[in-house]
Amino acid sequence: MTQEKPTPSKLSLNLRKMKFMQRGMSESERHSLEEANSKIITNEHWELDLPPMGKNDSSYEQLDGISLCVKLKHGRMSFGGFNKAIEKLMYELNREEKTEDDATADSDASVSDEEMAERYSTLIGTVAKKFKSKNTTDNDFERKGRKLDNDVNETEVPAKVKRTNKRFLKPSE
């Protein structure tokens, strides 16, 4: 009637590292656990021993990041003197961009002085018309000898009609 104890299943390394599990460990188990802890992964572990790459004979230039290809703003920003070092860096980067933009803007002048003068001379009349009132415009037509309405004679202009106050009238009872 003696039953044999079943052999315990192997416990995981993380479970064996726990303090309460280490108290009842045998010497061999402690030694194997220390060996596992001593294996530290270093940077050399991840490096491959490859021969150095030769010079690329390609006619294309390879850049390390996208920020050199695309004009991106600087990632860190500061305003109002909160981070002076970053504000100084932002100022320098913006100054470089402005000088580049000014140089390209001067070379991109597509409208010559003569064209600009011609366009301005045509706009003078249209802008002046905008600020004229209706009465002055009507008087200008009459001065030039034109009539506004062909059917109406100048002598038949009706007298001014007396305006009445428009109010809400109470209903009579």
So what's the pLDDT on residue 1? 53
Compute the mean pLDDT over every residue in the chain, rounded to the nearest whole number. 74
So what's the pLDDT on residue 84? 92
Q: How many whole angstroms separate alpha carbon 44 and alpha carbon 49? A: 10
pLDDT in tens, 87-115: 998 888 888 888 877 777 666 667 778 88
pLDDT in tens, 143-169: 555 555 444 445 555 556 666 777 888
Higher pLDDT, 64 or 139: 64
Q: How many whole angstroms separate alpha carbon 112 and alpha carbon 20? A: 88
The reported pTM is 0.25
